[in-house]
Amino acid sequence: MTALIFNYSRNDVMVAMDTLGHYPNKQQFIHHTKFYYFKEERVIICGVGIAGLKKDWYEFILYKQINKDILTLDRLATKKLLEFDKLYPNELGATIYQFGYNNRTDEFMGFAYRKSNGFISEALEYGITARPGIEDSFVIKAPDIAEIIVSGSNFNRIHHPFIEIMKEQKRADDMEDIDNRAFIGGEIELISINKDSCSVDTIYKF
């Protein structure tokens, strides 16, 4: 499992994820980047649940898909994710998110594909999402949260509000029984993308 936070608007997208992964026995751990992106197309792929499913989708796009614009990927996603999901135990859950810039409408678009809903495409609303979820009141009180929404990629990484949100996610997760834990940890990596630029940074180490 993982911690995921994203802020999505028509002008830019920011995605933060931790880097701690674990094997099914929850006794062996690895550190790795959990999101994928295509810089030229301004596309980000992230998600929670089955890590291999996210990687399968990314590698299909990388090696077999010439046209990588967000609308093309959205049209392909449901069918391919259903195919890839057959490779994994049915009891494992997954949700894939992807964001991308639409040149025709000059805006970013975001979609979710949930295994529990047959990976049907769901258009995302603008705003902040955190998984595992935390109290809305905490998200609102996180330092400078309004500023980050307004300023987009012009932010101070040292005091990035996503850090406080993910620290709260980890605090709550650490209190769970081992069978229910997401095991949040390692580092917080952040990808920020708008129509003119794309940057990836490590903004915190647990």
Residue 66 is encoded by which pair of tokens? 């010439």
Residues 118, 41: Cα–Cα separation, whole Å: 26
Residues 183, 125: Cα–Cα separation, whole Å: 28
As a whole number, mean pLDDT of residues 4-10 equals 93
User: 4-205: which CATH architecture?
Assistant: 4-Layer Sandwich (3.60)
Q: Are 14 and 6 in contact (CB under 8 A)?
A: yes
Residues 182, 61: Cα–Cα separation, whole Å: 27
**CA 140, 10, 203, 182 torsion: positive or negative?**
positive
Average pLDDT, the chain: 87
Q: How confident is the model at residue 180 (pLDDT cuts 50, 70, 90)?
A: confident
The larger pLDDT score, comparing residue 29 to residue 96, is at 96
Return the pLDDT at 26.
65
- Phi first, then psi, for residue 180 (nearest 5°) are -105, 0
Residues 34, 97: Cα–Cα separation, whole Å: 12
**CA 136, 137, 142, 146 torsion: positive or negative?**
positive
Q: Are 128 and 5 in contact (CB under 8 A)?
A: yes
Return the pLDDT at 140.
45
State pLDDT tens for residues 65-110: 999 999 999 999 999 999 999 999 999 899 999 999 999 999 999 9
State pLDDT tens for residues 36-55: 999 999 999 999 998 899 99
State pLDDT tens for residues 9-28: 999 999 999 999 876 666 66
Instruction: List the domain boundaries for the chain.
Output: 4-205
pTM to 2 decimals? 0.87
Residues 99, 97: Cα–Cα separation, whole Å: 7
